[in-house]
Chain A
Amino acid sequence: MGRQIICRNATLGYEDGIVTEGLDFTVSEGDYLCILGENGSGKSTLIKAFLGLRPQVSGEIEWCGDFSAKEIGYLPQQTSVQRDFPASVREIVLSGCLAKCGLRPFYNKYEKKLAEKTMEKLHINHLANRCYRELSGGQQQRVLLARALCATRKMLLLDEPVTALDPKAQTNLYELIASLNREGITIIMVSHDLNSALKYASHILHIGSKKQLFFGTKTNYLNSSAGLEFIETEGGKNA
């Protein structure tokens, strides 16, 4: 179980203020880390730091060994642009391979094959020629997941993936993510959804206002003060 990301006493923020500080945690291969926290607690800033888009103000975020920020498969929240974007599923999944192209302007056979295989794996190959905006929310998330898997086989970073999905589609997506995790892909998920965090995650990182409240395994979280308090206020299920 090699370590992939080590975060030591990191402070995140913008030019005009600190969003959160004292982040201290590690992510190892095969982990399923769930990041909990209220709105404005710095979850999206943390995502940017993971992706290497916005460096931390102080402290250290280290990508270990041959692992780099570029190898994170990212599943962003949907933007308004995408909702009426004319694009076929195949075009979108294939665009996940783009980073592999480098300066080469077109996709090669290997990348096209990878896209087809990934679509098969996520059971969306029958949708390949369909238009993205005509799909259901759950299918759209599968498409974006396939794209992320084309970019990496090591780590997936998911930003509130189940928002706007109906309960059945939510469960399906959670199960799919869990099965990818069982294949050895590290999962980092930012979520509001405490119940499923407790059901699927192996580790929990809980960010409060301006500071880290908890990091550790799920079992420890359930016994920690941060965990108990959060579970109570959320009225979540008594796991």
Chain B
Amino acid sequence: MLEKIAYYFEFPIVRYALTVALLVALCASLLGVTLVLKRFSFIGDGLSHVAFGATAVATVTGITNQMIIVIPLTVLSAVLLLRTGQNTKIKGDAVIAMISVGALAVGYMLINMFSQSANIAGDVCSTLFGSTSILTLDKSDVMLCMGLSAVVLCVFVLFYNKIFAVTFDENFSKATGINSEIYNLIIAIITALIIVLAMKLVGSLIISALIIFPAITAMRIFRSFKSVILCSAVISVVCSGTGFFISLLFGTPVGATIVTANIVVFFIFSLISSFSGQKK
């Protein structure tokens, strides 16, 4: 088995893929805690569908570097989604549902109408489930991913205390003069970035699993914000690595395997938490 892994690792593509998988998992888990606690879990889901639509637009235009279109569109939607969350004219969850399903439909339609590719179903499937695309990463993708992850990590560490305060109690933060809107905006933007990054890894349909599962799992056992964040980062990276190797050895789709690993860990943690009587 080890020889097989060593053999695979002679290919740069496999090393790139592993790097991206670990970085994306790390970033997603950090942000996941905040999103879950702020009741924004579905924003991640909505955004990933937007990213799918944006990818479709990019495919249709035939542009080589799709990120030029996908990143701005997704970030823009993130900002809009957050705004509508505060506006009560249409309920926040309805807006998210509208945007995400709408983007999915329009994206699929565009691809079907204009794509020159011979294998439309395959293209769509890999964008949705990321089944093969992780092994088509090239060096520039990896560089982009490392750059964006570095940005996300820096922002998260530098604003850690502010993110905590704004997540725990927005009203109090506002009252003491903290501009919570800016921090919400920062959270929205880095969520969008992470989703774009992670789309290549797990595909847009199951990406929110990477955001939600590690956070929820960590919260089963840990009781302080810092420990939850650290634990969810560790869980996410470990699951991502494990899932990656399993998919390499057994030929399973990468994204789905990673998510399955997350689900397994979630149940293990739930069991531990109910046995130790810590469950709330």
Contacts and interface: CB of A to CB of B under 8 A. Distances in A.
Interface of A: 51, 53, 69-70, 72, 74, 76, 79, 81-82, 84-88, 91-92, 94-96, 98-99, 101, 105-107, 129-131, 133-134, 144, 147-148, 151, 157
Contacts of B64: none
A51 B164 contact: no
Contact of A74 (B37, B168, B176): B176
Contact of A81 (B39, B159, B173): B39
A91 B164 contact: yes
Contact of B169 (A76, A86, A107): A76
Given A76-B171, A98-B178, A84 B161 contact: no
- What are the nearest 8 A-B pairs in CB distance? A131-B223, A88-B224, A70-B177, A74-B175, A99-B176, A95-B165, A51-B175, A105-B158
Nearest to A98: B165
Interface in B33-47: 37-39
B280 A91 contact: no
A84 B280 contact: yes
Contacts of B165: 95, 98
Interface residues of B, number: 31
Contact of B223 (A101, A134, A147, A151): A134
Given A51-B174, A98-B176, A107 B224 contact: no
A63 to B, nearest CB: 13
Interface in B142-178: 157-162, 164-165, 167-169, 171-178
B157 A105 contact: yes
9 contacts: A84-B280, A86-B228, A87-B224, A95-B164, A95-B165, A95-B169, A96-B176, A98-B173, A134-B280
Contacts of B38: 81
A99 B162 CA distance: 9
B189 to A, nearest CB: 18
Contact of A99 (B158, B178, B219, B227): B178
B225 A107 contact: no
Given A88-B223, A95-B161, A105-B161, A82 B169 contact: yes
A68 to B, nearest CB: 8
A95 B163 CA distance: 10
Interface in B165-210: 165, 167-169, 171-178
Nearest to A99: B176
B222 A86 contact: yes
Contacts of B226: 88, 91
Nearest to B224: A88
B113 to A, nearest CB: 43
B175 A95 contact: no
Nearest to A87: B225
Contacts of A129: 224
Nearest to B165: A95
Interface in B199-254: 219, 222-228
Contacts of B228: 86
Given A86-B225, A88-B223, A133-B280, A95 B174 contact: no
Given A53-B175, A86-B223, A147-B172, A105 B160 contact: yes
B225 A88 contact: yes
B39 to A, nearest CB: 7
B224 A82 contact: no
Interface string B3-44: 000000000000000000000000000000000011100000
A120 to B, nearest CB: 20
A86 B172 contact: no
Contacts of B224: 86-88, 91, 129, 131
